[in-house]
Structure 1
């Protein structure tokens, strides 16, 4: 892998009415034609994403959205897509041509409700005081500026056409970027002492292209190297032999969830053990809440409905983990048939109230903000959520062992499970 994964990039959403210059602003910031620009309102349909390195922030993803004032049946679908993009946005730009009305107020309220940092870009400053239609451009009415300033909202005057104010836009992005979106938390290096050793148990995943490892495994190796620690990578069949050859026990064993039962049997009880998917639950979401959600598996019974949620849309394999293996293990654990639905893609439906449980993938392709938004959606629906690694470890009978490195998560699981 040569580029920073999308899921580890700061996601910057560009929002506003049609024809205020959102796409032009994006093209000016990235220095190339990432989005189609036209005087015809509604040119942008689905959100357009562009990855790049943005000075002084670093690796980012820009999300160019459709106009919030789009009209008609198709426009309503475009607005819905734009609103859903909020769930994967870390910093929002509210672009206006100088007008300020209900649409801008609605966006500002949506940002505030999500506690999403945002600032206003007063675009088209090159048109001076009045635009072609008589509306003021490039500046906001004084009372609006005062109100925004009183709320701590930054306003930047810019001209995407002439390139004016773009440095101020970049600086505002850097100023408002959440720390967790730029300085990513450790994946596992904080679990291993300096100079320590982690053994990574890596089955050859058929879903990974030839010559590559899957993303969480690559991230784990890089995190250990950044932490000045050592790692030993083995397949599941070689774990026991590798441990026998070590002069001292490793500080941590991390395995693929699908082989957690064998890895737990081959790893001495005194050696901490967990899975890549559980590490991803901590990196991308809220491990304590996801561990609490895993206890709901113990209450599943025949006839219950479970939603399997995947953030990516990979081609399903013959023995696919989300579509075949986890449903099989859940049904075996529940002692009867349970109804399984699968949802794949960037957006997770809010219609979750009919489910007894949501089992989410590790979320390696989405950012932390998106995963936390999915957790909030499940919470609003009153549905517990867990993830692949936690669910698999529970159905295999080794979840307390796999949560051993994370006492708070283990306590949350035991409390939700009634002391199990």
Structure 2
């Protein structure tokens, strides 16, 4: 039986917890891998776009919500993944992309973004209005945050009614790790204080009621909290369930809710399973999926360098290095150390900020050259053992590079799938 978002809280209450993986990526190969994996497993395919990545002005991907929706729909059709199995989500929807402007201006843009998301068919909405705008503190108080969340929920409700289809499901709460992971080596992460989570719920419930949106609040299915998981550029903090015990007990008083866990990348199956068992039923993953995509591309780059004398010495790696050095805005503020250490982080950081560069023309050309060099060629088993252990099934047969990339991403998705099925 396929588990849906609105069933998660009930299943936990019945003692049969299940989870859903939230794929947070706009890379077409990652999307294809997720949709193919969903077709094979029958699980809900939850795909989310963030406010910076996709918005009514294009975001850093250049896509508006309707473009992202169309991309997912197109790939789903090619992969044979049924439309009723797919849920589109909007992550951190609020004024964040425009927080350098006065609050009224930033919220006006956020309202336009919300309308565009819901009109494009996004039905899982994370309301995140916690950040201060120009002249405000960096983090806002709960009451101001809740009032602004209600303002955006009002737009979402009106748009859903006007455009038809199911009404939105909401996620509230904002105590999450930095997008894309932390910038420094981490020793420990403290879970959200139970009192803080309870206050967030109480104030949002009150503000929704004052705005006559109690019906919409009934469709709040989860709250974002910090379970004590995170990854930095170089290390991962895994889930310690004993530290989150007091936080988890909140759900006993909120039978209609589950927790949403951000930055669950690189946790591995045992911690992910414990998260689902404890009520963190929505597991968001993003950088891990593009990290393993990059891992597989670089392995193929090494294989082609070994196989073909005229291919060159790691031209994909060299092209990505040149692109990132020439355009440092997406990594410079996040990577520390000397020049050699920064070079390593540009390519291998767990935050995987190289993911911002795959759409650059030079990068696209280098990937195209790599895949053309290997398409239909036979890769000897020892080369796969050397550069991509575990990929034995691709040895000594005509290679389809995209199939290998999808396989590698699918390995990570399978880990999540097993954890979600407990």
Q: TM-score range with shorter-chain normalisation? A: under 0.3
> Which one has the largest radius of gyration?
1
Answer 1 or 2: which has greater strand percent.
1
Q: Which has the higher contact order (CA 8 A, sep 6+)?
A: 2
Q: TM-score, normalised by structure 1?
A: 0.25
